[in-house]
Chains A and B, each alone.
Chain A
Amino acid sequence: MNLFSSFTLITLLLLTIPIMTTSSDNYKTSNYPLYVKTTISYAFITSMIPTMMFIYTGQEMIISNWHWLTIQTIKLSLSFKMDYFSMMFVPVALFVTWSIMEFSMWYMHSDPNINQFFKYLLLFLITMLILVTANNLFQLFIGWEGVGIMSFLLIGWWYGRADANTAALQAILYNRIGDIGFILAMAWFLTNLNAWDFQQIFALNPNDSNMPLMGLALAATGKSAQFGLHPWLPSAMEGPTPVSALLHSSTMVVAGIFLLIRFHPLTENNKFAQSILLCLGAITTLFTAMCALTQNDIKKIIAFSTSSQLGLMMVTIGINQPYLAFLHICTHAFFKAMLFMCSGSIIHSLNDEQDIRKMGGLFKAMPFTTTALIIGSLALTGMPFLTGFYSKDLIIEAANTSYTNAWALLMTLIATSFTAIYSTRIIFFALLGQPRFPTLITINENNPFLMNSIKRLMIGSLFAGFIISNNIPPMTVPQLTMPYHLKMMALTVTILGFILALEISNMTQNLKFNYSTNIFKFSNMLGYFPTIMHRLTPYMNLTMSQKSASSLLDLIWLENILPKTTSLIQTKMSIMVTNQKGLIKLYFLSFLVTIAVSMILFNFHE
C-alpha cells in the first residue's frame, strides 16, 4: 500500500470524523460548522496528494478492503476505484464543498439547526464520494441512493413549508423513476455477465448491451434531470441556496452523467445508445435553455442553465467524448456553484427577494457580488480563457467535426447562444440600470465568510479550466484542424446571443408589456410540461388507487366475493331450512283451531 491509496482513504476517513463525533459535546457547540468546514479543507489538501501523484505518474488503482458478502459466484466487497475520473473529481468536489460550507456559515447563521444542516451537507458529500470512488455497482448504488435521500432531506430543510416538502417529494419521485433503470442495469449485468465489478463488466464487454445501457440512460435521465424527468431540478430550488449550489448544480446532478462516463467502455461500441443519448441531451439542452429565457426567479434561471449544461454533457457522451464531458463536469462545478452563491448573496441582501424584476442597479450596492456574477456568467457562456471555455469550446468543436446528427448539432448550437441570452438577462436586470428594490434595505456583502468563499470560487472560475486542462493526461486528441467557420462557431453564436439579448433588452426596457405570445407562454410555463405531467398523472393515478384499487376491488369486490357471500349463503340456507318462520298469527291461529276443535270434540263427546 503506497501513499496513493492510503491518502485517498485518509481523505474519506477524515470526512467521517465530524459525523462520528455527533454524540460528543463538539456537536452541541456553535463551533461545529467551522469544524466541518476545516475538516473539508483538510480533506481537500489530503486529496490533492494522490491527485498530483496521478497527474505525475498516471497510475490508477483498485483496492478491495472489506469483504461484505459472497453469494454463489458473486463477491461483493468494499472496493474503491482510483482512476482518472475519481482522482480528478474528488478534489474538485471537495474544493467546491469547502467554499459552499463557508458560504453556508454566512447564509444559515441564524438557523437554529445549523449544526444539523452542516451534518447533512457533509453526509451528502460523503455519499457523493462513495458514488464517485465506487468500484462495483452495489457500492455505487449506495452512493446513488444516498445522494437522493440527502437531497430529499436538504430540499425539505424548511419542513414547515408545504412547497419545500412537495419539491422534496418530487425530487425523490423522479430520482426513483431513474432508479428503475439502475436496477434494470444491475439485474441485467448480474444475470448475463454475473458481475457487478466494473473491471469485470468491461472485460467481458457484451455485444448486445442495449438493454442495460438504456437502463443506465434512464437512471442518468432521472438523476441528471434530462428531458422527461427534468421538472424536479427547478423545483428543488425551494431548498436553501447552499443546497442548490452544492447538490443541484455542481455535484449530485452530475452523478447521472458520471455514471454514463463510467460506463463509456460499453457506450463507445454501441451506436444505438450513442444516438439516443445524443438526441436526449440535445433536446434537454435546448428545451431547458428555452425555459430559462423567460423565467424571472433568479435561482430558477440558474437552475435551468444547470439543466441545459447537463444536456450539453449528455450530448458530449452522445458524440463519444466521455473525457470531454467529464472535463465539463469539473469546470462547470466551479462557476455554477459560484453563480448560486452570488444569487444567494443577492437574495439574502434584498430580504429574500428572488424576482429579477425587483432588483437592478446592484453593481453599485454590491460590487463584489456583481464582479463574481459577471465572471461566472462569462465563464458559463464559454468566454475565451475563462474556465468554461476549455471544456465548452472543445465540446462544440468536437460536435462540429464529428459525423453527427445535424439536428442535434443545431439544437446544441441554439442552446449555446441561449446560454448567452439568459446570462445577459440576469446581468441586465439584476445588476445594471436603476434600482427597483425597496429603499429601506440594508445591503451588506462585507462578511468574510461570504467574500472568501466566493473569492475562492472566482479564482477557480478564472483559472481552474486552464490549470486542469493543462495538467490532465491527454485522453482525447482534440481536432487540430478545421475550417475557420467551424472553429469560430461556438464563439460566434455566443457573441450573437449576447448582442441580441443586450439590444432587445435595451430596446424593450421602456416599452409597454404586450399581451404575451404563445411562444412566450410556452417558455414561461416551462413548455406546459409540469402543468400536464404534474396534474394529469397524479390525478389519474390517485383516482385509480382510490376508485378502482381501494373502493372497487378491496372494499366492494373482494369483500363481497368471499366474506359477504359466505355469510349471505349461510343466512339464506338457515332461513330456508328452519321451520320457524316467525308467522305469529298463523301459529296462534293453529293454536286456536286446535283448542276450538278439541273443545268442540269434547262438547259433543257422547
Chain B
Amino acid sequence: MLKYIIPTMMLMPLTWLSKGNMIWINSTTHGLLISLTSLLLMNQFSDNSLNFSLVFFSDSLSTPLLILTMWLLPLMLMASQHHLSKENLTRKKLYITMLILLQLFLIMTFTAMELIFFYILFEATLVPTLIIITRWGNQTERLNAGLYFLFYTLVGSLPLLVALVYLQNTTGSLNFLVLQYWVQPLSNSWSNVFMWLACMMAFMVKMPLYGLHLWLPKAHVEAPIAGSMVLAAILLKLGGYGMLRITTFLNPLTEFMAYPFIMLSLWGMIMTSSICLRQTDLKSLIAYSSVSHMALVIVAILIQTPWSYMGATALMIAHGLTSSMLFCLANSNYERIHSRTMILARGLQTFLPLMATWWLLASLTNLALPPTINLVGELFVVMSSFSWSNITIILMGLNMVITALYSLYMLITTQRGKYTHHINNISPSFTRENALMSLHMLPLLLLSLNPKIILGPLY
C-alpha cells in the first residue's frame, strides 16, 4: 500500500519545489503516473481480498473506488488551472497541496482495515474539503455552505463513533475481515435499533439521503471546480462504500429498519429529479441530479441482494465519472460566461461544437443510455428493486423519465437554440479542457466493454 501512499505524499514536496510555471504540469503528470500504477490493483487473483498489511487491504469493492480516486486527482488539477490563474504562487501551491492531502486521506479511507481507522480518515477528509470550499469558493455564501457541510456530516457521524466503541467492546475487534466471520445476528431490541441508526446515519448523510441532503447543493454550488468534482465523484461514494461495508454487521436488523429509508429514497429520488426540472442554476441542477442518483444507490444497498450490490457499485463509479464531467463542463461554461445561470449560455453549439459533443455525451451517460455502465448500474438497481417489490417499478420508471427530461433540458438549454449576443467574443475551448473531458469519457466508454471489473464482489 505504501507504493500509493508514499508517491502521493511526495507529490507535496514536488509541488512546493517546482518552479512557478511547472507546478501544474509536474503535479498532473505524477498524479497520472500514480493512477496508472493503481491499475495493478485490478489484479484480484483470489476471491479474498488483497491484504497489504495489518492496516490496509483492498478487495473488488474498494478497488474501483480507489482507482477512481487516483484517477481524479490529475483531472481536478487540470480543471482548476484557469480558476487559479489569478492567484499568487504560494496560494496555488497550497491549493494543490490540499487536493493532494485529500487524495491521501481518501486512499487510506478506502483501504483501511480497521473501522476506527476508517472512521478517523473518513472525518479527516472533511478538513481539506472544507478548506477548499471556504477558501477558494467564489461567493460569500461559501462560508455558509462550509458550515452546512461540516455540521451535517459531523452531527451525522459522531453517533457512529459511539457505536464503534460499543462494537469494539462487545465483539473485541473492528477489523473488517475478521468481523464478517465474527458477528452474531443482532437481536431486535431498542438499543440495537439505535445502534443501527448510529451506524447508518453517518453514511446516509454523506450519500446524501433525501431530507439530509441540504448541504450538498450548497457545497456543490459554492465549491470551486475541483471541490465540486471530488465531492460528486468520490466523497458521496464514501457514504455508499461505508454502507456496503457496515451492513454486514447489522443483520438481520436491516431487513425491517430499511423500510423508512427505502421509502424516503424512492420518494426523494422523484422529488430531487423534479427539482432539477426547475433549476436555473447549472451547478445546482447537477448537484440535485447527484442526490437523485445517490438515492438509487441507497435503495440498492438497503435491499441487500447480490444484484443490488453490484448495481450500487457500478452506479457509484459511473455516476462519479459522469457527474464530475458535468461539473467540468459547467465550469468551462462558467469561465466563459461568468455566470452559472443556464439561460445566459444558450446556443453554445454554434460557437463550441466540440464542447457540444462532450455535453451530448455527458448528458447521454447521465440519462443512462445503453450500453454505458450507468445503464448497467441503473438496470441492476431497478431489477433488484422490482424483485423486492413490484410496485417500485412505477417510481423507478418515473424517475427514468424525469432523469432523461432534465438531462436533455440541460443539453438543450445550454447548447441548442439561438445564441445570446454577449457570448460573441468568448474564447474557444482549450486543448486542456478537451483533454479533461476525454479523460472522463474514455473510462466511461471503455468500462462499458467490460463492466465486470466495477461490479464489486460478484458473489
Contact = CB atoms under 8 A, between A and B. Distances in A.
A544 B404 contact: no
B274 A541 contact: yes
A138 interface: yes
B423 interface: no
A191 B401 contact: no
Contacts of B151: 563, 566
Contact of A71 (B307, B360, B386, B408): B307
A550 to B, nearest CB: 5
Interface in A141-200: 141-142, 144-146, 149, 152-153, 156, 159-160, 162, 165, 168-169, 172-173, 176-177, 179-180, 183-184, 186-188, 190-191
Given A184-B393, A549-B274, A69 B370 contact: no
Contacts of A563: 148, 151, 214
Contact of B400 (A138, A180, A186): A180
Given A71-B307, A71-B455, A156 B416 contact: yes
A176 B394 CA distance: 13
A542 B278 contact: yes
A242 to B, nearest CB: 20
A599 interface: no
Interface in A554-569: 554, 558-559, 562-563, 566
Interface string B416-459: 11100000000000000000000000000000001110010011
B38 to A, nearest CB: 23
Given A72-B306, A184-B397, A545-B275, A160 B382 contact: no
A566 B387 CA distance: 40
Interface residues of B, number: 52
B393 A180 contact: yes
Contacts of B390: 211
Contact of B383 (A160, A186, A566): A186
Contact of B214 (A72, A156, A177, A554): A554
Interface residues of A, number: 48
Contacts of A156: 412, 416
B278 A169 contact: no
A545 B211 contact: no
The DSSP consensus for interface residues of chain B is helix
B265 to A, nearest CB: 15
Interface in B284-335: 306-307, 310
A545 B278 contact: yes
Given A169-B409, A183-B382, A190-B383, A159 B455 contact: no
Interface string A357-371: 000000000000000
B364 A149 contact: yes
B134 to A, nearest CB: 17
A187 B277 contact: no
A554 to B, nearest CB: 6
Contacts of A160: 347, 350, 416-418
Nearest to A545: B274
A165 B410 CA distance: 12
A493 to B, nearest CB: 39
Contact of B459 (A72, A145, A179): A72
Interface of B: 148, 151-152, 211-214, 271-272, 274-275, 277-278, 306-307, 310, 347, 349-350, 360, 364, 369-371, 379, 382-383, 386-387, 390, 393-394, 396-398, 400-401, 404-405, 408-409, 412, 415-418, 450-452, 455, 458-459
7 contacts: A71-B458, A156-B416, A169-B408, A173-B404, A176-B404, A562-B214, A566-B151
4 smallest A-B Cβ distances: which pairs? A180-B397, A545-B274, A187-B386, A159-B416
Given A71-B307, A159-B347, A542-B277, 14 more contacts: A72-B459, A156-B416, A169-B405, A169-B408, A169-B412, A179-B397, A183-B382, A542-B278, A544-B274, A546-B278, A549-B271, A559-B214, A562-B212, A562-B214
